[in-house]
Amino acid sequence: QQQVKQSPQSLIVQKGGISIINCAYENTAFDYFPWYQQFPGKGPALLIAIRPDVSEKKEGRFTISFNKSAKQFSLHIMDSQPGDSATYFCAASTTNDYKLSFGAGTTVTVRA
Amino acid sequence: NAGVTQTPKFRILKIGQSMTLQCAQDMNHNYMYWYRQDPGMGLKLIYYSVGAGITDKGEVPNGYNVSRSTTEDFPLRLELAAPSQTSVYFCASSPVGAEAFFGQGTRLTVV
């Protein structure tokens, strides 16, 4: 049973466009929500993370929006660049043990 | 600074064989994890450890064993390899309360 559901499975965006990836979770004990970026043949790398005491966090072109009541969070990639082409995973855990439950991943392709 | 180092990078096993996937970190992190990644399924937690001598099962522990005798090393043992264990395995480490750092992965094929 997938504890974190992620959509879409893949998306294609033009250079300069906005990529939006959505995730939903069931476990209300989750209080840490990171996003990981993975390039082919590499391990995932932390992109940005949020805790439920804030509704939005921005780092450069990457923004997480968090809706605690709906148990949903999303990643927005602004001004998408070809170098952003990768697979993105949302994840969730408690801050008790940081055992991450991952979404299934979204493959983002940015066309020049 | 090497970070999290996994060996080997690739391995082909025959059904019923055993092997150990090695994981070492040089960041003095207390927490270490083993995940497997299957296509379209994200990463699933196999085992984790919060410190030397302490390990616990994750979501998919069957067919695997771990040990943590030192802070640096967290090997994953497959005793009787099965085709269902064909996957990419990632080891990760983290300091308490912070992000997880992942290794480059081990691609295992069981035939």
Q: Which of B44, B92, B99 sits opposite A49 (nearest CB)?
A: B99
Q: Is B85 helix (H, G, I), strand (E, B) or coil?
A: helix
pLDDT at A81: 97
- For residue B72, pLDDT beyond 90: yes
pLDDT for B1 equals: 63
Question: Would you kindly state where each structural domain of chain A is located, as residue ranges?
Answer: 4-111
A80-110 tens-digit pLDDT: 999 999 999 999 999 888 889 999 999 999 9
* Helix (DSSP H) and strand (DSSP E) numbers for chain B: 0, 11
- Chain pair A-B, CB pairs under 8 angstroms: 56
Is the pLDDT at B97 greater than 70? The verdict is no
Which mean pLDDT values do the consecutive 10-residue runs of chain A (112 residues) have? 90 98 96 95 94 94 96 98 97 88 96 94
Question: Other CB atoms closer than 10 Å to residue A105's CB: what's the count?
Answer: 24
At position A71, the amino acid (one-letter code) is K
Interface membership of B90 toward A (CB under 8 Å): yes
Task: State which CATH number among 2.60.40.10, 3.40.50.2000, 3.40.50.720, 3.30.365.10 fits the domain covering A4-111.
Answer: 2.60.40.10
What values do phi and psi take at A83, rounded to 5? -65, -10
